[in-house]
Chain A
């Protein structure tokens, strides 16, 4: 099993957010989690990435034969977990080229791969950026600083394509995107998809799933997955809303 979440219960500030949640993801699969606001979708993404604000009450998570709770945030990232943030934070003064260069090399180091030099990295970044229709000028700017909402999301996808993760978690990547930006972002995801990597797509709306075809759709309500199935579920939600699952 690639990612196995077993009986996961999580709380934050005395509030139970995730309740006995179970989810299995295999290599090469695309899973979508849909649910109303406050159902715990983003908490799941952050618990997977290792954010420290949460208290794990129960359960375990296995990721690529590791007990995930044995790894800290950066170790999980280096092992191939990537979180595309819902609200990417601005880091003024930190140029994105060296930032991503350090990121990719820290991953390579852990994998005992040779570090990539400046020149090869610059080439790689340029080619990935042009694949995603990202203006080269954007690479001269500081991380997320002064970016529009759409630019931030596109830039998350660029980082994802550079770091080439085994498991990519997209946390409401579609929110705040107009239809053109949504196409660019979803095209990027579709290009990245291989039989060896997996995606966990968290979304509120069905719209995103018109562009990325998930293998499985899960409905999350009140901290648990209440229904799983194929893309027909997304259509059901589109029609009737989340009401009937609550």
Chain B
């Protein structure tokens, strides 16, 4: 590697995180610590019915008996669950504000700074947004318009009160509380998140989006999202996230459940940009997320697309259970790690129905001292006749101190299954850099161009409105110089 490349690498390590500011706002916080009282407090704050509290407490009793899953290629100090705030809300959110005039101007300012204006007329055309600040949903845009089509798009807290039948039927149906310790934890203390229901035959006319922001110190964010696409419906959903720069690590443990009934399609995209910690690995979000979709009906389809650039630790495997015959699961992922970030991410495709298909495209880019692992499991159960999987995992290394790892598991109990797996690991190519620079592009521009090209297969899966943003984010994660 020549000196110029090393210089540029050095400038990467001076990563600046432009979302790292803190909003000074009065917060309502109960004491730190995890116990039945805090769960009762959350449930009370959310004005929840009795059955919901019981559901939470049951999950909590499961959690107490569980240990964290340890199989990931991650190292971090033990999480002290008693040293975390489990609820934090800006004051004045006892009731969700009816419109923006009731929202603290500081909050509106925060979102303007993040590039997520809350006023509908300023929001990206054709995108409805639910905004979650620490533990509460701040605003949901375009609600009225969606209601006309019978689409429900609201915070999960609101759904628990207004749509208890759907919640009782589906919450925890894809990710049981007792699945593992993080799902149990989330089930016990989740605070807010989004709920989406698309009625039979309805194609949702706009992108639905949730934007998560962690602001308060030492606070965990435990969001819960549930999306149900009824027969023959379609929805595309996007999630974005940021957090202030802090020296302490913060825990984020989300659960996202998707259910696609017969002929329904759900497209779920994530742009994860939690604070990754500083160049010495201090601070940053611990991102332990469980995302799972159930293709319950025939011909249903669930597609996950993720761009993971943030967090000190990412532990995340958006998965598909392909139960309905002919159902399709897809996973497109870009994971970029820099400095001391660690990512262990991938997917799980479980083929149960006949003729089920899955496709996995994973692109990992490692810089600095980071470790980037793809972990995937593709399994074919006995009845999965003629099921197919295609997996492609590519890793790109930029520098000499980072690591890229690929851990694919394949398990087939049906011998008609067809499995294809391709994997590659490469270093950033000096000839490509030379070529770009000979045309007049700077070294940084050239790296960003080449990496964006490397990720293109995934980035092009993102909804149009966000593809450009995601490209920029990829460049910023590399340069670290755009403030």
Contacts and interface: CB of A to CB of B under 8 A. Distances in A.
B453 A92 contact: yes
B445 interface: yes
Contact of A91 (B4, B436, B437, B455): B436
A83 B438 contact: yes
Contacts of B2: 52-53
A100 B440 CA distance: 10
Contact of B454 (A93, A100, A103, A104): A93
Contacts of B431: 89
A159 B439 CA distance: 9
Contacts of A102: 441, 445, 449
B35 interface: no
B81 interface: no
B449 A89 contact: no
Given A51-B434, A73-B434, A78 B452 contact: no
B415 interface: no
Contacts of B438: 49-50, 73-74, 77, 82-83, 85
Interface centre among B432, B445, B450, B453, by most chain A C-beta atoms within 10 angstroms, is B453
Given A51-B434, A74-B437, A91 B442 contact: no
A91 B438 CA distance: 14
A93 B457 CA distance: 8
Interface centre among B2, B440, B441, B456, by most chain A C-beta atoms within 10 angstroms, is B440
Contacts of A143: 435
Interface residues of A, number: 31
Interface string B421-445: 0000000010110111111111101
Contact of B4 (A72, A100, A104): A72
B333 to A, nearest CB: 15
Given A52-B2, A88-B435, A91-B432, A74 B453 contact: no
Contact of A74 (B440, B449, B454): B440
Interface in A39-87: 49-53, 72-74, 77-78, 82-83, 85
Given A49-B438, A77-B440, A89 B432 contact: yes
A73 B442 CA distance: 9
Contacts of B454: 92-93
Given A78-B440, A106-B441, A94 B435 contact: no
Given A51-B434, A52-B2, A91-B436, A106 B442 contact: yes
Nearest to A105: B440
Nearest to A75: B440
A69 B207 CA distance: 53
A163 B450 contact: no
Nearest to A77: B440
Q: Contact residue range for chain B?
A: 20 to 34
A91 B440 contact: no
A74 B450 contact: no
B161 to A, nearest CB: 47
Contacts of B456: 92-94
Given A52-B4, A72-B4, A91-B432, A142 B437 contact: no
A192 to B, nearest CB: 16
Nearest to A100: B439
Nearest to B4: A52
A37 B455 CA distance: 39
A32 to B, nearest CB: 21
B439 A91 contact: no
A77 B437 contact: yes
Interface string A91-129: 111100001101110110010000000000000000000
A51 B434 CA distance: 7
Interface in B1-21: 2-4
A85 B438 CA distance: 10
Nearest to B434: A51
Contacts of A100: 439
B56 to A, nearest CB: 46
A94 B432 CA distance: 11
Given A52-B4, A93-B455, A77 B439 contact: yes
B452 A93 contact: yes
B450 A91 contact: yes
B410 to A, nearest CB: 26
Nearest to B435: A89
A85 B435 CA distance: 8
Contacts of B445: 102, 106
Contact of A94 (B4, B434, B440, B453): B453
Nearest to B3: A52
Contacts of B442: 74, 106
B435 A91 contact: yes
A99 B437 CA distance: 11
Contacts of A159: 439
Interface centre among A50, A52, A91, A107, by most chain B C-beta atoms within 10 angstroms, is A91
25 contacts: A49-B438, A50-B437, A52-B2, A72-B437, A73-B434, A73-B437, A74-B438, A74-B440, A74-B441, A77-B438, A77-B440, A85-B435, A89-B429, A91-B435, A91-B449, A91-B450, A93-B453, A93-B454, A94-B450, A94-B452, A94-B453, A103-B440, A106-B445, A107-B440, A142-B453
Report, nearest first, the 5 A-B pairs whose CB atoms are least far apart. A93-B453, A93-B456, A94-B453, A103-B439, A77-B440
Given A73-B438, A89-B431, A99-B449, 8 more contacts: A73-B434, A78-B440, A91-B432, A91-B435, A93-B453, A99-B436, A103-B440, A159-B439
